[in-house]
Every structure is written in structure tokens, then in C-alpha cells.
């Protein structure tokens, strides 16, 4: 009689964010997984997850907190800076079978290609976020090449979920834009609204991500986990207007003009990312997982968001700073258009 194999011990670092929450929930339901989640303990976890309360930036505290445990797979959703990547390599080297690092497609030089696969040149001149994620990748891959550190890199595009959706220019939360639409106030979209965008619902991301865990074929490689459907920014907003039963009131403003803002970091978010019409190849992911699948299109994702917000009115927070900023920018832009009209 053969003994049942021991459950796979998986540690999530983070585990309660937009991307990681559905992954955490699904892993907690798997009887073949022993799930551990390390974070600062601010959010509740599924009942089957063992919570380890610790700030992973504090290496000494992490050593104490993790010393009673051993893990097969570590998934870290909150490494943003090169020093954090170095610390993670030093801490987990020789202790685990796989380390999954969540990177981003913002690492790429978007200006030198339209169709992008995982070998595309990196170097985003506008986004510090993308630059630092790229530096983290380099540290992890060097550790793989030098010492066999078992890293798998996952590069999402924009991943959205129950309380977050793709938007061009927003304030403190996505609701800042929805609030303006509901009050029949015009909203801003960068450029002409026709640049393309890949956006992936967190439930779809989780489905494909789970197949990378303990998958030996992924070690030492990077993968796009991205919905293959392409939309543009006007399409996203027109879906929202239809769902909210409002007539579109959209003001298109050049990305370079919006990037002059000193109130919001539009240089990074739009010049470094949203202004580009890139297409992301998912062939590499399809080759290493057996059930490559995305089922939630953008209209369904937006509908779910609006339903969630209706069920959680406490999250409908006004954003007067953003509201005043939009009015000021739109008024200034319309005045500029009027003054320019007929002069050339």
C-alpha cells in the first residue's frame, strides 16, 4: 500500500492584493496544497491558509518568522526594488524548488516593437516602476544562471478585479472616474482613445498562474500571463457608459500634454505604458500549461466591478482633488482649442 504524497507547501508573500487574492483563495481550496501566507496581517485570509505575520522587508524578522517552516514553492507578489530581490535570493537560495516572481510588461522598451514576446528588449525610459522591475528580473536570472536559483518570472499586463478596472487617467481610486460619469461630468482619455490595451481579469490570471506552480518546465524562464483579447481605451469607456446608462462625454487630450501634470504621475503610467499599442505574445505560456484559458472579457469584467461597488457602497469614496483637477484640465484644454481654431 502506497502512502499518499505529502502536500505541496506553498508560501505566498503578499496574498491579499488584486492579483494575489484569487490565487490565495484557489490554493486554499486545494487538498494537495499546504498554504502559507506571509504579510502584515491587515486583511483576513481563507480558513485553510496559515498566516505568518511579518514585514518581508525586515530580513531578521522574516528569518525568525519562517524558521519553523520549510516550503517547496514561494510566490512573491510584492518585490519592487533590486535590493528586495537580492535579499530574497540570499534568503531562499538552496531552500526551495521554485520561486515565482511577479514582474510586469512595463519592463519592455515599448517603442521598438509592436508584437512583443518574452525576448523583447527591456528598457522603459519613462517608468521607474518598469526599470526597477527589470533590475529585479536581472538579479533573479543571474542567480539562476550562476547558482541554479529556481526562478520563474511572470509578466502581467494590467490585471484588474472586483474593485479595480482599467482606466486612462484616474484619481485615488477607480470610483473617481465612475463618479464623474454618473454625474454627467466629462472624463479624460489620453491620446485619441485608439491605442490598444491588454487587460486581464484576476480570475483568469489565477487560472493560468496556478498551472505554473511546481512546473519544472517554467524554471529559468519568463512568461506573459495576459488575456489575448485586444481593446482600445475608447472601447473600455464606451462599455462603461453603456453599463451606467449614460451618454459618453469624453475629452481626448494628448499624452504629452497630460504628462505635464504635477498632480499625478502621468509620465510613468501613460508615457511609460498606456500610450503604446503593443500586442503581447502568449505562445510561451501555452507551451508549458495544459489548460490555457481566459473567459472574462472586458465588458463582463466591468459589469462585475460595478456590481461589486453597488454591494459595497462604503468603497464609493468621493475624490474632490481629482474632480477639481479634471475640471481645470478640461477647461484649459477647451480654451486652448478655441484660441487655436482658425489660426492655421
Q: Which helix (H) or strand (E) holds 7?
A: none
Please report the pLDDT score of residue 104 as a whole number. 98
User: 224-247: per-residue pLDDT in tens?
Assistant: 999 999 999 999 999 999 999 999
Q: Are 44 and 93 in contact (CB under 8 A)?
A: no
Around Cβ 84, how many Cβ atoms within 10 Å?
18
Res. 256: pLDDT tops 50: yes
User: 136-163: per-residue pLDDT in tens?
Assistant: 999 999 999 999 999 999 999 999 999 9
Percentages helix, strand, coil for the chain, rounded to the nearest 5? 40, 20, 40
Cell 533590486 -> residue: 82
Q: Are 258 and 169 in contact (CB under 8 A)?
A: yes
- Domains of the chain as residue ranges with CATH: 79-337 (3.40.50.720)
The answer for residues whose C-beta is within 8 angstroms of residue 42's C-beta and 6 or more apart is: 16
User: 267-312: per-residue pLDDT in tens?
Assistant: 999 999 999 999 999 999 999 999 999 999 999 999 999 999 999 9
Q: How far apart are CA 270 and CA 273, in angstroms?
A: 5
Interhelix angle 320-340/175-182, rounded to 10 degrees, is 60
Q: Are 56 and 43 in contact (CB under 8 A)?
A: no
Q: How far apart are CA 260 and CA 22, in angstroms?
A: 37
Please report the pLDDT score of residue 1 as a whole number. 44
3-state secondary structure of 243: helix
Rounded to the nearest 10 degrees, how much is the dihedral formed by the CA atoms of 88, 139, 132, 276? -120
Q: Say if residue 90 is exposed, middle or buried (CB neighbours under 10 Å; 0-12, 13-18, 19+).
A: exposed
User: 171-199: per-residue pLDDT in tens?
Assistant: 999 999 999 999 999 999 999 999 999 99
Residues in the chain: 344
The answer for residues whose C-beta is within 8 angstroms of residue 329's C-beta and 6 or more apart is: 188, 253, 258, 261
Please report the pLDDT score of residue 183 as a whole number. 97
From 115, 111, 58, 54, select the one nearest 84 (Cα to Cα): 58
Res. 68: pLDDT tops 70: yes
Q: How much is the pTM?
A: 0.95
Q: Are 74 and 38 in contact (CB under 8 A)?
A: no
The answer for residues whose C-beta is within 8 angstroms of residue 178's C-beta and 6 or more apart is: 240, 244, 306, 309
Cell 459618453 -> residue: 248
Res. 18: pLDDT tops 50: yes
Alpha helix ranges (H) inside the chain: 20-28, 59-66, 82-92, 128-147, 175-182, 202-209, 233-244, 255-258, 266, 283-288, 298-311, 320-340
Res. 4: pLDDT tops 80: no
Amino acid at each position: 500500500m502506497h502512502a499518499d504524497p505529502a502536500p505541496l507547501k506553498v508560501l505566498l508573500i503578499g496574498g491579499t492584493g488584486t492579483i494575489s487574492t484569487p490565487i490565495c483563495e484557489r490554493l486554499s481550496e486545494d487538498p494537495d496544497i499546504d498554504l502559507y501566507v506571509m504579510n502584515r496581517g491587515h486583511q483576513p485570509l481563507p480558513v485553510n491558509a496559515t498566516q505568518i505575520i511579518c514585514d518581508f522587508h525586515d530580513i531578521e524578522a522574516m528569518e525568525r518568522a519562517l524558521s519553523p517552516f520549510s516550503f517547496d514553492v514561494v510566490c512573491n507578489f510584492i518585490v519592487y526594488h533590486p535590493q528586495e530581490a537580492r535579499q530574497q535570493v540570499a534568503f531562499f537560495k538552496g531552500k526551495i524548488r521554485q520561486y515565482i516572481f511577479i514582474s510586469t510588461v512595463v519592463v519592455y522598451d515599448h517603442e521598438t516593437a509592436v508584437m512583443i514576446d518574452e525576448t523583447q528588449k527591456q528598457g522603459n525610459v519613462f517608468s521607474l516602476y518598469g526599470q526597477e522591475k527589470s533590475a529585479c528580473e536581472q538579479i533573479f536570472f543571474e542567480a539562476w544562471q550562476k547558482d541554479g536559483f529556481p526562478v520563474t518570472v511572470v509578466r502581467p499586463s494590467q490585471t484588474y478585479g472586483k474593485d479595480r478596472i482599467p482606466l486612462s487617467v484616474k484619481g485615488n481610486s477607480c470610483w473617481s472616474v465612475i463618479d464623474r460619469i454618473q454625474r454627467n461630468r466629462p472624463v479624460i482619455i489620453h491620446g485619441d482613445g485608439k491605442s490598444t490595451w491588454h487587460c486581464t481579469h484576476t480570475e483568469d490570471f489565477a487560472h493560468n498562474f496556478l498551472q505554473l506552480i511546481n512546473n519544472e518546465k517554467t524554471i529559468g524562464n519568463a512568461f506573459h500571463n495576459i488575456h489575448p483579447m485586444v481593446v482600445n481605451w475608447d472601447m473600455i469607456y464606451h462599455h462603461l457608459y453603456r453599463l451606467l446608462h449614460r451618454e459618453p462625454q469624453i475629452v481626448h487630450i494628448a499624452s504629452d500634454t497630460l504628462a505635464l501634470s504635477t498632480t499625478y504621475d502621468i509620465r510613468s503610467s501613460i508615457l511609460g505604458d498606456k500610450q503604446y499599442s503593443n500586442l503581447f505574445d502568449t505562445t510561451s505560456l501555452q507551451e508549458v500549461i495544459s489548460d490555457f484559458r481566459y473567459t472574462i472579457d472586458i465588458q463582463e469584467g466591468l459589469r462585475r466591478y460595478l456590481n461589486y461597488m453597488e454591494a459595497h457602497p462604503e468603497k464609493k469614496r468621493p475624490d474632490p482633488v481629482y474632480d477639481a483637477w479634471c475640471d481645470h484640465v478640461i477647461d484649459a484644454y477647451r480654451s486652448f482649442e478655441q484660441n487655436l481654431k482658425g489660426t492655421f
